[in-house]
């Protein structure tokens, strides 16, 4: 790869994405983050705020601090951590409320496992950043202990020991609940691909980072590793279907209740599966997952990638392909095709991630008002009815895409 590509990635991250959220996301009057920001960067002060959004900010700026060894990014991370612990943390039952009101009081109190996973993911990254960048000696232990407590709660109350994987949600007190839906757009189901995918992501990060704070606690790392390996296998054998696409919604026994193909989740899972197997460094598991990841990426290359424009499609449902280019799909396509290129050396994958990046720079990135448009049609016209930021759109997907490419290539200093 030429240096210009990585320079473009770094500039997008450090000059466009990260500064945008530092400037517009924080509601300093309440100590939280705005739950909705429109395309003119006007914040809605009345929108509730989720643990997912807050955790994603904590992760993104902790990860940036680690990548660039830059303490200034920890200001945003510390702000997010304070918001999480003061507003979302359930002092009575443990874990984090799904959402809070603008004033920081609890709104939706249930324990949505998707949200608990992101909290775990972010806390372990922040703990590692405190060790590596801030050179703290005490606080990292307190932070990683919170992440480990989350792991214990998820394992105790959300893991399905009969069929494998993790349930969608628990009540405030971690008891079973009938209120399972992640959002208004989701089907009410016992288990979902999306929740289990991000539990896997969280456990991969926790497995990697716990040794940075507690290098001597090999037993704890092994416990996380066993849970992670089990989830990798569930993803590859239960969630992944014979056609090479992920199922999206399931009953508890993994019987499928949808007919959707989500191209973005497929390509995201292709690299997250490999990341998990690679992190575990189990040669047998890696030999099993490597061809799975490559096959998934190849199918997405053939079915979800529009080579003529460089854009990456959205979904395929009931015989209809949705060609809307969603911001996070583009980021995950770059990452997934880049990973497939690393695994195979294939010029087809290299061309694909370069073309998607070109699409992003020319159409998805908002050069006037900052960050990326939520959605752009196949002709490059942005949908301005969708928010620029808020509860579902933060610095997570696009910043992670950029940081993965820079970290893996060693071009963070380009």
Percent of the residues in the chain that have a pLDDT greater than 70, as a whole number: 100
Choose between 361 and 180: higher pLDDT: 361
List, for residues 214-272, the tens digit of each pLDDT value.
999 899 999 999 999 999 999 999 999 999 999 999 999 999 999 999 999 999 999 99
Q: How many residues appear in the chain?
A: 414
pLDDT for 117 equals 98
Phi then psi for residue 71, to 5 deg, are -70, -25
Span 46-98, pLDDT tens digits: 999 999 999 999 999 999 999 999 999 999 999 999 999 999 999 999 999 99
- Token look-up 């993911």 returns 121
Cα separation, 281 vs 285, in Å, equals 8
Q: Looking at residues 97-120, what average pLDDT do you find?
A: 98
Residue 414 has a pLDDT of: 85
CA angle 171, 127, 285 (to 5 degrees): 75
H or E element at residue 306: strand 305-306
Q: For residue 185, what pLDDT band results from cuts at 50, 70 and 90? A: confident
Check pLDDT > 80 for residue 327. Answer: yes
Residues near 45 by Cβ (< 8 Å), separated by ≥ 6?
A: 27, 29, 34, 102
Reply yes or no on whether the pLDDT at 1 is more than 80.
Answer: no
Residue 182 has pLDDT above 90, yes or no: no
DSSP count for the chain of H helices, then E strands: 13, 18
pLDDT score of 267: 98
Contacts by 43-47 with C-beta closer than 8 Å and gap 24+? 44/390, 45/102, 46/102, 47/102, 47/390, 47/391
The pLDDT score that the predictor gives to residue 349 is 98
Sorted by sequence, the CB contacts under 8 Å of residue 333 that are 6+ apart come out as: 264, 267, 300, 304, 305, 312, 352, 353, 356
> How high is the pLDDT of residue 8?
98
At 3 the pLDDT is: 87
Q: Is the pLDDT of residue 183 over 90?
A: no
**CA-closest candidate to residue 312, choices 321, 320, 280:** 321
> Pairing state of beta strands 320-322 and 389-390?
unpaired
- What are the residues whose beta carbons fall under 8 Å from the beta carbon of 149, sequence distance 6 or more? 94
Using a cut of 0.95, tell me whether the model's pTM lies above it. yes
Among candidates 302, 343, 180, 300, which has minimal Cα distance to 251? 180
- pLDDT over 90 percentage in the chain: 95
């Amino acid at each position: 790869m030429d240096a210009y590509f990585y320079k473009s990635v770094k500039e997008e991250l450090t000059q466009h994405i990260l500064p945008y959220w530092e400037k517009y996301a924080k509601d300093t009057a309440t100590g939280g983050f705005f739950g909705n920001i429109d395309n003119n960067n006007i914040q809605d002060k009345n929108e509730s705020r989720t643990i997912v959004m807050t955790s994603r900010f904590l992760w993104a700026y902790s990860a940036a601090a680690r990548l660039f060894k830059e303490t200034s990014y920890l200001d945003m991370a510390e702000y997010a951590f304070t918001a999480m612990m003061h507003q979302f943390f359930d002092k009575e039952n443990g874990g984090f409320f799904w959402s809070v009101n603008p004033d920081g009081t609890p709104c939706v109190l249930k324990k949505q496992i998707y949200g608990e996973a992101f909290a775990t993911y972010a806390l372990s990254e922040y703990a590692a950043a405190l060790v590596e960048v801030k050179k703290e000696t005490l606080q990292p232990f307190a932070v990683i202990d919170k992440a480990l407590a989350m792991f214990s709660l998820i394992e105790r109350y959300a893991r399905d020991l009969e069929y494998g994987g993790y349930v969608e949600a628990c009540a405030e007190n971690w008891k079973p609940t009938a209120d399972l839906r992640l959002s208004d757009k989701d089907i009410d189901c016992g288990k979902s691909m999306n929740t289990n995918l991000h539990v896997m992501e969280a456990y991969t990060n926790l497995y990697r980072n716990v040794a940075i704070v507690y290098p001597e606690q090999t037993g704890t790392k092994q416990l996380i590793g066993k849970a992670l390996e089990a989830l990798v296998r569930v993803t590859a054998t239960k969630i992944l279907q014979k056609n090479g696409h992920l199922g999206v919604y399931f009953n508890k026994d993994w019987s499928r209740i949808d007919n959707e193909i989500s191209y973005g989740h497929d390509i995201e899972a292709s690299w997250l599966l490999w990341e998990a197997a690679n992190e575990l460094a189990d040669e047998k598991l890696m030999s099993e997952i490597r061809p799975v990841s490559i096959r998934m990426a190849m199918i997405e290359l053939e079915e979800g990638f529009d080579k003529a424009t460089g854009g990456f499609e959205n979904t395929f449902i009931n015989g209809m392909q949705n060609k809307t280019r969603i911001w996070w799909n583009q980021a995950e396509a770059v990452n997934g095709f880049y990973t497939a290129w690393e695994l195979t050396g294939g010029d087809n994958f290299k061309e694909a991630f370069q073309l998607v990046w070109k699409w992003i720079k020319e159409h998805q990135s908002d050069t006037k008002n900052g960050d990326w448009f939520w959605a752009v049609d196949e002709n490059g016209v942005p949908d301005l009815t969708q928010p620029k930021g808020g509860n579902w759109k933060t610095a997570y997907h696009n910043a992670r895409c950029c940081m993965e490419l820079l970290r893996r290539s060693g071009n963070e200093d380009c």
